[in-house]
Structure 1
Amino acid sequence: MTLHLGGYTQDQPQDRSGWGRVDYDPTTGFGDAVALPGPPAPSWLVRLPGTEEGYAVSEADGGAVVRVHPEEGVVSSADSGGMGPAHLALSPDGRWLVASNYVSGSVGLVAAGAELELVDQLQLEGDGPHERQDSSHAHQAVFLGEDRLLVCDLGADRVAELRVEDGALRQVGQVVLPAGSGPRHLALAPGRDDLLWVVGELDQTVHVVRREDGGAADGTGAAGGVGWRVVQTVTTAPEGPGPGETTTGGVVVSPDGRHVYVSTRGTDTVSVYAVDDEGLLELRQQVVTGHWPRFIGWVPGHEGDLLLVAAEREGSVDVWSTDEGLLERTGHSLAWAAPTWVG
């Protein structure tokens, strides 16, 4: 199979875009990676199914959303609707791209296709007690359906619930997280839209969130209505933070919904949690990875069996296999400068 790579480029040669391609065989491992023409700092990508093309954010020069082709490079570009886009999501019908702009704390709605166009942007509002929470910092969007999505706001300790209506973004609700947690990324329970797990970047936590009847009037839902509630919080660093900065990174869930995997930078670990029938978590395993595991994700076509771990500061991408949910080393490792996305 062919995997694509994304990453930062500020410390790389000028002829490197940060976008690359590599063949991977689950039996023999990685081939030789090839750099592709593209934008600077493509830190997050979305591949177009059945093609070698894709969409990406470019964090350089303010921020942009681009369509990329492996031979032609950038074939279309649009403003991301803010500064410092850190994540890109494609709607299930392929109509919309949503850029989460970390620096500006805004969300951009881009019409997808051969020609990209920014059609709306929504500014999130809020702050928190941590020194990095001076204002909203949008970090990830996840679609609940064709027109509903959740956006992690690291700066405001909120997950905003948005709706796309007539080509515009509208906030319709929010999930309130513990103060100072800094929600970075979330993962939905497979086949459900009422259960999710949110990682707190700033306090090394995972929050179990359920949507239930009888929401409170404190931002989690109207009283007597439907609301999101945090029902459990667990740590990703049971032995304490690592030396220096320690922050969570990525989160993924197994296809059967029985295990959740979370990376933590600083301790340089991936934690494996068992999930019970209520969605609650119990730590089963922690493995040590390369330095600064910013991204984790399944090898396409091997979801639940092969986990990719991109260690940004190590400059490596490693593959781990699973055995009844627990991780085992495969020995397959790829050197790639500052990787932040693989898929």
Structure 2
Amino acid sequence: MKVLIGGYTKKSSKGIYELPFAGTDQTARLGEAENIIQVSDPTYFQKDGALIFTINKPNNDEGGISVFKLEDGQYHEVDTYLTPGSSPAYVGINRDKHLLYTANYHTGIISVFKYDENGELTLLDKDKHEARTLGPRPEQDSAHPHFFDETPAGNLVCCDLGNDTVEFYHLNKQNKLEHLATFKSEAGFGDRHIVFNKKGDCFYVAGELSSKITAVKFNEDDWKFEEIATYSTIPADWTEHNGAAAIRISKDGKFIYVSNRGNDSIAVFAVNDDDTLKLVQRISVEGSFPRDFNWDESEKYVVVANQNTDNATLYLRNAETGALTTIQKDIKVPEGTRVEFEE
């Protein structure tokens, strides 16, 4: 097993790094990071077999997606799709349908791509978010889509930090995006990322600007929404800056995890039978500015990347309690913002 970490390339990073994984339980360790792909600002990427689809910002005028394929032990670039302006902030994937979904925070554009077996990209459709319900915070100066991926029923969902909204779409048979519904969060919430429960009738949206999670019952047939409750990801007495970032839910649907950039922690919540949440733990990331974290297929091991301190931390996860235990810290990896396990 290996761990891939990518991020910004503003300082010493050269792109995407691979870290070997060895040992089990308390003796599990990550080895030295090796640069396997040289690419500019791979702040988010997805993997499908020998293919890696990564954000790329090769110059000041353009940004987009690049595709690398593993051949003879080396990754080679097979395609790149660039557009004027900034690069996307998020890449989603459907490996069965060979679809990619990108959200561009700065340009306000969400896009759907098709890719073939070799990784070559075809743009199917895109939509530009407008500044319709902008929040009151300085960061909400425009529409800012920060996430674009699939719902449990196979529709598409986008979190818009600028508009404080969650937008739902359908990709029709003509491969065109049709807008279906909007959920409006409280002003200044700053919707960033979202996860869904196992039944597919409740979602949990993380607000970057508010450092909160809102639980919402919903129905993908009639698109009715019902807010259940909202929870803080940071302590009540925290007065310094914080931005909630990644949110993940365990496969059994029993636990939710959110990273805090500022409080520099991962908040762990238990999911109750009625879809409400209960705080289990806040654990230090042993570094600064944890934008992303991820787990292996068994969800036994968790790795978080700390962007500002150029390090990662490895945890052991208790599947019964949801709690994390730090088993390795100060793992050197530069400017990390994205974590992906490779089994």
For residues 37 and 217 of structure 2, the distance between their equivalents in structure 1, rounded to whole angstroms, comes to 42
Aligned residue in 2 for 1:217: none
Aligned residue in 1 for 2:232: 235
State the Cα deviation string for residues 235-273 of structure 1 (Å, max 9, x = none).
112234453x31111111122111111111111111111
In the alignment of these two chains, the number of paired residues is 324
Which of these residues, 324, 327, 334, is aligned with residue 324 of structure 2?
327
Q: RMSD value over aligned CA atoms?
A: 2.1
Aligned residue in 2 for 1:226: 223
Q: What displacement does 1:212 show? A: 4.4
Where relative contact order (Cα < 8 A, 6+ residues apart) is larger, the structure is 2
Q: What displacement does 1:82 show? A: 6.7
Q: Which moved more, 1:200-209 or 1:54-63?
A: 54-63
Change (3 A) 1:196 1:146: closer
Aligned residue in 2 for 1:341: 338
Is this contact kept in 1: 2:48–2:95, CA < 8 A?
no
Aligned residue in 2 for 1:55: 53
* Structure 2, unpaired ranges of 5+: none
Q: What displacement does 1:92 show? A: 4.8
TM-score by length of 1: 0.88
For residues 84 and 146 of structure 2, the distance between their equivalents in structure 1, rounded to whole angstroms, comes to 13
Aligned residue in 2 for 1:184: 192
Give the letter aligned to residue 126 of structure 2: Q
Is 1:119 equivalent to 2:124 in the alignment? yes
For residues 336 and 19 of structure 1, the distance between their equivalents in structure 2, rounded to whole angstroms, comes to 10
State the Cα deviation string for residues 132-172 of structure 1 (Å, max 9, x = none).
11111111122125851111101100011011121222211
Is 1:252 equivalent to 2:248 in the alignment? yes
Give the letter aligned to residue 273 of structure 2: D
Is this contact kept in 1: 2:152–2:196, CA < 8 A?
no
Which of these residues, 1, 17, 20, is aligned with residue 17 of structure 2?
20
State the Cα deviation string for residues 183-223 of structure 1 (Å, max 9, x = none).
11111223x3221111100011011111049xxxxxxx9xx
Change (3 A) 1:90 1:80: farther
Aligned residue in 1 for 2:284: 288
Is this contact kept in 1: 2:189–2:208, CA < 8 A?
yes
For residues 231 and 208 of structure 1, the distance between their equivalents in structure 2, rounded to whole angstroms, comes to 5
Aligned residue in 1 for 2:4: 4
For residues 45 and 158 of structure 1, the distance between their equivalents in structure 2, rounded to whole angstroms, comes to 24
Is 1:301 equivalent to 2:309 in the alignment? no
For residues 144 and 95 of structure 1, the distance between their equivalents in structure 2, rounded to whole angstroms, comes to 16
Aligned residue in 2 for 1:208: 215
Aligned residue in 2 for 1:155: 162
For residues 302 and 85 of structure 2, the distance between their equivalents in structure 1, rounded to whole angstroms, comes to 32
SS at match of 1:77: strand
SS at match of 1:278: coil
Which of these residues, 291, 300, 307, is aligned with residue 312 of structure 1?
307
Which of these residues, 87, 95, 100, is aligned with residue 84 of structure 1?
87
Is 1:31 equivalent to 2:31 in the alignment? yes
Give the letter aligned to residue 253 of structure 2: G
State the Cα deviation string for residues 303-331 of structure 1 (Å, max 9, x = none).
1x221111111211111112221111112
Q: What displacement does 1:75 show? A: 1.3
For residues 199 and 226 of structure 1, the distance between their equivalents in structure 2, rounded to whole angstroms, comes to 20
Give the letter aligned to residue 269 of structure 2: Y
Give the letter aligned to residue 314 of structure 1: T
For residues 142 and 44 of structure 2, the distance between their equivalents in structure 1, rounded to whole angstroms, comes to 23
Which of these residues, 261, 273, 283, is aligned with residue 257 of structure 2?
261
Is this contact kept in 2: 1:259–1:325, CA < 8 A?
yes
Change (3 A) 1:302 1:333: farther
Which of these residues, 51, 75, 79, is aligned with residue 78 of structure 2?
75
After the TM superposition, which segments of 4 or more aligned residues of structure 1 sit over 6 Å from their partners?
A: none
